[in-house]
Chain A
Amino acid sequence: MSRLVRIELLKLRITRLGYGLLGTAAGLTALFSVLEGSRAGNGGAVEPLNTSSGFNSMITGGVWALVLATVLGATISSGEFRHQTATQTYLATPARGRVLAAKAMAGAIAGAVFGLVGYLIALGAGLAFVAGHGYQVPLSDATLARYGAGHLLAGALLAAIGVAIGSLIRSQLAAVIGVFVWTIIVESLLGGLFTSVRPYLPYTAATTLSGSALGGAAFGPAHNVSGGTPLPFAAATALLAGVAVALSLLAARTTVRRDIT
């Protein structure tokens, strides 16, 4: 299995798409964090940066890396069909379930890197703004470390979910659009309408894992409602892992078995 994971990581390293997505994630995280930092303490929605809420708003920029990690995962699997490289892949490794598992693991490793990069940029921007204002960092080192671990885990698990989605949908364009529609529109609407289910929505759970307030990383209605308690760290991790495994098993039993014509 480790050989198969190495193959998938090699494919990622020698293809430009992954670097492009990572660059996009870094750029969006930086932009979002700086915008939040500039708005903080001006009497608007963002609290001053010497409060944990205000500082959290800046850290939330890291969720862009999580969205892009999911997109990366989707391209890892669906790209095989877009470029018809599935033929060569399955000739080399006829056990398709093992290929899917290796892709999920490679996606998780790359997704963790995305999460880490996003966190470092958001944290760096946050620390720079706090220093600029002459404030003390309002969060403990332990909390900051937990947010870092959360970004890493959330990026890894969302990328693995992306791999499963790409395996199920197989059309790269549809898979990528599907990821954006789900994270930006569907979860925001569902989370806004049903606050009781909001903590259990995968993208929302991933963002709370990475330190965002519940709804803090939502793009629409769910951003402005209160209610519900974020899942604890372990529960959010287990939920995302469960979704990744369930979708992977579904793909392995359905679309992955299809004829390669």
Chain B
Amino acid sequence: MAVVEVRGLRKRFGPVTAVHELSFDVQAGSVTGFLGPNGAGKTTTLRMLLGLITPDAGTATIGGKPYGELEEPLRQVGAVLEASSFHPGRSARNHLRIQALAGHVHQSRVDEVLELVQLADVAGRRVGKFSLGMKQRLGLATALLADPEVLILDEPANGLDPEGVRWLRGLLREFAADGGTVLVSSHLLAEVAQTVDSVVILDHGRLVAQSSLAKLTEAAGRGGLEEAFLRLTAGAGKEVTR
């Protein structure tokens, strides 16, 4: 069953078409990798899915509704978009207190998620003093706070150390095993190959592949996901960050 449905999504910024007639699904109980070179339109698509950017055409729904029409959005969708969107003067705990109030979540859950993302020891410290990895963990804590059914994550592994990346992989796999749905964008193809069930690949704002990971890597032979990705986005002339 498709939980996330994107149909004919289009967005232009001035002369640049960031997303062009994009359609794809994300199935319930799976981890879907959202891949593409820099500037492929991944972040714009995720922000349209979350109601932060208005598309020029097309629809993006979660559980059959646009994000703006969800009754309790934080309970349905947890999102990590960028590590910099925290008030630097607030502590991690206070940031989560605000989100808990907004999401109708009991304040005791704040300490639970701080433990879960291993930030309990620095919960009272101002976020402006946090490293990128700590901000990513706080972003994940925010996303998980209201125990959502869907996670939408934009480059959540950026800034995480190897132990953190491994921890994140386990978290996402466990979330999907419990019936949750994950859409995660990443440049770390080796990591994606270990985490996702299926992939959606964009290039220049267009869909170039939607497939199960197994099918895609089988077709690519020994090169695996990286080979498949580079072949599908060939000619883009863009660097793939590893």
Residues of A with Cβ closer than 8 Å to B? 3-4, 6-7, 10-11, 14-17, 79, 83-85, 87-95, 257, 259-261
Contacts and interface: CB of A to CB of B under 8 A. Distances in A.
A4 B98 CA distance: 10
Contacts of A91: 50, 52, 73-74, 77, 79
Given A91-B73, A91-B79, A92-B73, A14 B99 contact: no
Interface stretch (B83-91, B184-192, B211-219, B230-238): B83-91
Given A88-B85, A261-B53, A7 B79 contact: no
A129 B91 CA distance: 44
Contacts of B53: 259-261
A96 to B, nearest CB: 9
B220 to A, nearest CB: 33
Interface in B92-108: 94, 97-99, 101-104
B54 interface: yes
Interface string B60-82: 00000001101001100101011
A15 B90 contact: yes
Interface residues of B, number: 33
B98 A7 contact: yes
A83 B88 contact: yes
Contacts of B79: 91
A88 B99 contact: yes
Given A10-B97, A90-B52, A95-B68, A84 B89 contact: no
Contacts of A6: 101
Nearest to A83: B87
Interface in B112-151: 142
A88 B74 CA distance: 10
B11 to A, nearest CB: 9
A92 B82 contact: no
B82 to A, nearest CB: 7
Contact of A92 (B90, B91, B103): B103
Contacts of B44: 261
Contacts of A15: 87, 89-90
Nearest to B43: A261
18 contacts: A3-B101, A3-B102, A3-B104, A6-B101, A11-B87, A11-B98, A16-B89, A83-B86, A85-B86, A88-B99, A90-B52, A91-B50, A91-B73, A92-B99, A94-B67, A94-B70, A94-B73, A257-B54
A259 B52 contact: yes
Nearest to B91: A14
A83 B94 CA distance: 15
B126 to A, nearest CB: 10
Contacts of A83: 85-88
A10 B100 CA distance: 12
B81 A14 contact: no
B51 interface: yes
A14 B50 contact: no
B204 interface: no
A83 B79 CA distance: 18
Contacts of B47: 259-261
B68 A93 contact: no
A95 B68 CA distance: 7
A7 B88 CA distance: 18
B52 A260 contact: yes
Given A17-B89, A87-B81, A94 B51 contact: yes
Contact of B101 (A10, A79, A84, A259): A10
B176 to A, nearest CB: 21
A10 B98 contact: yes
Contacts of A16: 89
Interface string B2-40: 000000000000000000000000000000000000000
Contacts of A11: 87, 98
Given A91-B73, A257-B54, A261-B52, 7 more contacts: A10-B97, A15-B87, A16-B89, A83-B87, A88-B99, A91-B77, A261-B53
A87 B74 contact: no
A178 B181 CA distance: 46
Nearest to A13: B94
